[in-house]
């Protein structure tokens, strides 16, 4: 197996997670609207909604989509981000 193939395989297993606090996400419907919009885009792996804390957790592939794009998509829907910093936690599959 070539080194290029190994690097590409590693990139496909690497995910990042970003947690965003949405100031005006008051109902479960608001969370579902955000989730539906984010999952339309390639590179988003999973979106979890925590309505009682007004937080969404987005798992994505950083080699396909950037964290700033996720923030932009939420702002485009009319929601306000409270603690947005573009520093995701990188997670690698396996040990």
d(C-alpha 11, C-alpha 3), whole Å: 12
Does 92 fall in a domain? no
Q: pLDDT, tens digit, for every residue of 2-54?
A: 777 776 666 666 888 899 999 889 899 999 999 999 999 988 999 999 988 89
Domain span holding position 48: 14-84
- Domain with 32 in it: what CATH number? 3.30.70.100
Angle between helices 28-39 and 67-76 (to 10 degrees): 130
Q: What is the pLDDT of residue 95?
A: 47
Does 6 fall in a domain? no
Total count of domains within the chain: 1
Flag the least confident range among 22-31, 33-42, 64-73, 78-87.
78-87
Does 71 fall in a domain? yes
Question: What pTM was estimated for this model as a whole?
Answer: 0.73
């Amino acid at each position: 197996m070539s080194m290029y193939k190994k690097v590409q395989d590693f990139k496909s297993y690497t995910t990042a997670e970003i947690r965003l606090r949405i100031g005006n996400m008051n109902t479960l419907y608001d969370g579902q609207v955000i989730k539906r919009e984010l999952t339309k885009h390639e590179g988003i792996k999973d979106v979890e909604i925590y309505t009682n804390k007004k937080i969404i957790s987005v798992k994505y592939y950083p080699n396909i989509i950037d964290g700033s794009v996720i923030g932009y998509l939420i702002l485009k829907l009319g929601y306000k981000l409270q603690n947005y910093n573009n520093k995701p936690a990188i997670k690698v599959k396996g040990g």
